[in-house]
Amino acid sequence: MDKHYLSWIIGISLCIIAPAVMFSVFGPNPLTLLFVCTISGAAMIYSIKLETSALKEK
């Protein structure tokens, strides 16, 4: 299991788990939606950065 797959698993799981937790705790309001979009966007950017660094190491 190299960093390439690990980064995608982390990114996707954050995009799925974070919205579910936020909506269950705070309910579906616009602020929650904004926060969820920020978290998922940051997670995707982070996973892409990990992926590019893993590709450079090869």
Task: Print the domain residue range for 37.
Answer: 3-57
Measured CA to CA, the distance from residue 4 to residue 32 in angstroms comes to 30
Model pLDDT for residues 7-51, shown as the tens digit of each residue: 777 777 777 787 777 778 877 778 877 877 787 788 778 878 877
pLDDT at 3: 67
pLDDT at 28: 72
Domain total of the chain: 1
Q: What is the DSSP letter of 28?
A: S
pLDDT at 1: 52
